[in-house]
Amino acid sequence: MSKILIIGAGGVGNVVVKKCAQHPDVFTDIHLASRTKSKCDQIAEEVKGLYGVKVSTYAVDADNVPELVQLINAVKPALVLNVALPYQDLTIMDACLEAGVNYMDTANYEPKDTAHFEYSWQWAYQDRFKEKGLMAVLGCGFDPGVTNIFCAYAQKHLYDSIETIDILDCNAGDHGHPFATNFNPEINIREVTQVVRHWKNGQWVETPAILDDKCIHFPFDYPEAGVKESYLLYHEEMESLVKHIKGLKQIRFWMTFSQNYITHLKVLENVGMTRIDEVEYNGVKIIPLQFLKALLPDPGTLGTNYTGKAVIGCIFDGEKDGKRFKKYIYNVCDHAECYREVQAQAVSYTTGVPAMIGAMMMLKGIWTGAGVYNVEQLDPDVFMDELNKCGLPWQVVDFNGELPV
């Protein structure tokens, strides 16, 4: 019997709970907690109707460690899966340590008052998790998550040494709104407006943010989605991959943005709507980006009319048995199919499915250990098999195209 406590009932939480309910042999007892209990109840009701599985629901403020500890002690799960926001990572890790429970998340910690994310805060928990004999697995969504697993797979099976990795994330979908973000607007906009970094020859190289006219971008021909302009972006999985992929000389992350998205975001930034500091309006203190979030469509509701594909993968250049070659490992995910299955768009789906598979790896004892792990440090094989079985099939092909030097 494996009891899981999922924290966060947004777009990703909805997918995770439904995918867990599809595997009652592993997830025998599902508990869901979030700030707004009615959102948990709605998911639980849908799950009961779809799969006949009971989900227990709770309200919790995941910024509050004692409240979390009380909940974890009452539920006594084997694993806490955090799909709330990156702001809550440390409090949930603290609560897991205190209650003696394993931990997993999909995004690295970010303080509310600084648009900056990095693993150092969570890696600092290494000794505490080790001493307690507990396991914390970080970044088990798609990117980070599956992209790291693709790298672990390439390192284990395809190459003796990998020289360069290019991670390419394409959303070629159309949700029908003039402007919307595919996951939490606050987190998404903080991510894409920052200075860009990639790693080359042992150091981080800074380049202009995607809203700057001098930013770096190129057209890439994605499988099934076609040619899309792809922008160099900083993304968190690069930080752990440079540590764990042996001999790596360069790693870059590219994400597609439409001209429409860039134009909207430029205007919002220029008028101050993406600011994360407090401003006073009519005697009330507001944070413009949080106010903007309240105006934008809830990403969890975008799925209704979403069409098109999301294509995410990694291109490797390296050597095996003295031969140099490039391989591309990728997944294509269809927004409308995701909606039919779990009433979610592909970005929530591609995050929620790997989170469920990662939880399955831990609960089945396939991923074990004491300490804090990034997913590329764990064995990729069973996880890769489960991706094929659970709705995210992947391909490995030779890559003969061109990438910017």
- Residue 357 main-chain phi, psi, to 5 deg: -65, -40
Tokens of 72: 């974890």
Minimum gap (Å) between residue 334 Cβ and ligand NDP: 17
Minimum gap (Å) between residue 297 Cβ and ligand NDP: 11
Nearer to ligand NDP, 30 or 317 (CB): 30
Cα separation of 138 and 371, whole Å? Answer: 11
Nearer to ligand NDP, 232 or 347 (CB): 347
Nearer to ligand NDP, 135 or 255 (CB): 255
Minimum gap (Å) between residue 384 Cβ and ligand NDP: 17
Minimum gap (Å) between residue 333 Cβ and ligand NDP: 12
Minimum gap (Å) between residue 58 Cβ and ligand NDP: 10
Q: In one letter, which amino acid is 36?
A: T
Nearer to ligand NDP, 12 or 232 (CB): 12
Nearer to ligand NDP, 107 or 359 (CB): 107
Nearer to ligand NDP, 147 or 155 (CB): 147
**Residue among 239, 233, 224, 225 nearest 253 (CA):** 233
Minimum gap (Å) between residue 190 Cβ and ligand NDP: 10
Angle at 67 between CA 119 and CA 131, to 5 degrees: 50
Cα separation of 325 and 339, whole Å? Answer: 37
Contact at 8 Å (CB) between 313 and 306?
Answer: no
Taking CB atoms, the residue at the shortest distance from ligand NDP is 10
Q: What is the DSSP letter of 298?
A: P
Contact at 8 Å (CB) between 318 and 165?
Answer: no
Cα separation of 8 and 273, whole Å? Answer: 26
Minimum gap (Å) between residue 192 Cβ and ligand NDP: 12
Cα separation of 319 and 321, whole Å? Answer: 7
Nearer to ligand NDP, 110 or 317 (CB): 110
Residues that bind ligand NDP in the complex, under the rule CB under 6 A: 8-13, 34-36, 39, 60-63, 83-86, 88, 106-107, 141-145, 183-184, 187, 299-300, 347-348, 351
Burial classification of residue 155, based on how many CB atoms lie within 10 Å of its CB (0-12 exposed, 13-18 middle, 19 or more buried):
buried
Minimum gap (Å) between residue 31 Cβ and ligand NDP: 14
Nearer to ligand NDP, 144 or 308 (CB): 144
Cα separation of 28 and 3, whole Å? Answer: 6
Nearer to ligand NDP, 63 or 163 (CB): 63
First to last CA, the chain: 51
Residue bearing tokens 């048995």:
321
Tokens of 113: 């008052």
Minimum gap (Å) between residue 323 Cβ and ligand NDP: 33
Handedness of CA 16, 17, 20, 26 (dihedral sign): positive
Nearer to ligand NDP, 159 or 312 (CB): 312
Give, for 310, the enclosing helix (H) or strand (E).
strand 309-320
Tokens of 399: 């890559």
Cα separation of 146 and 164, whole Å? Answer: 18
Give, for 279, the enclosing helix (H) or strand (E).
strand 279-281
Q: What is the DSSP letter of 280?
A: E
Minimum gap (Å) between residue 288 Cβ and ligand NDP: 18
